[in-house]
Amino acid sequence: MTDEQLAYQIAKGIGETGVEGGYDSVTCSTAGDYPSMGISQWEGLDGGRGDTLLNYIDGGSQFAGRTYSDIESSRELDALSTLLDSPQGKEAQNLILANDCLEMYIPELKKVPSFTNPACIIYTGIWCPTSHNVVRRFLQNCAENYDLNNLDILRELFRDQYYIAADVGEEYAEGYSNRAENTYQYVFALGV
């Protein structure tokens, strides 16, 4: 598969599995008081990638540069969610995510030695919104002891070890385990 085809499949997988969120998703970031939005949970405030997304959508700039608590206290969360779920909001998210996959995720995954199985690249690419740098380092650290071109092994690694590598704490272990299984089922069904 070409890089463009891989990027397309990764973006499609992130959107279809909903592992990061739906098009209309708006939550408070775990890293601070700013919105985390859409199918890739782009984070806003002070020129963040979420603000870039908002500026692609007519009417989105009114939410750019604002804290989550400000949007919530102004009772505008539903309006932001509706904006993100609009046809233009969905189109913007799809375009940005496809570009993220091609410009950030694929180049990081290509740094992993002998990592060639398209299904495994798609699988790990769907994890990249958590942090493409952490995903790459995790894979590089596992490469010597595990066959990263085996989809079953990747599922086990991400299910059992990735939350530790991502340093998110035990409270995220179950969610990451579910994500590992859902992502596996999605990629397996592709038959790549």
Q: What is the pTM of this model?
A: 0.82
Predicted local distance difference test score (pLDDT) of residue 46:
62
Q: Report residue 31's pLDDT band, with 50, 70 and 90 as the boundaries.
A: confident
pLDDT tens figures, 38-85: 999 998 766 578 999 999 999 999 999 999 999 999 999 999 999 999
Find the radius of gyration of the CA atoms of the chain: 17
Q: Report residue 130's pLDDT band, with 50, 70 and 90 as the boundaries.
A: confident
Distance CA 130, CA 136 (A): 11
Predicted local distance difference test score (pLDDT) of residue 192:
84
57 CB-near residues (< 8 Å, 6+ apart): 83, 84, 86, 88, 89, 92
Predicted local distance difference test score (pLDDT) of residue 44:
75
Give the mean pLDDT of 168-187. 92
For residue 26, pLDDT beyond 80:
yes
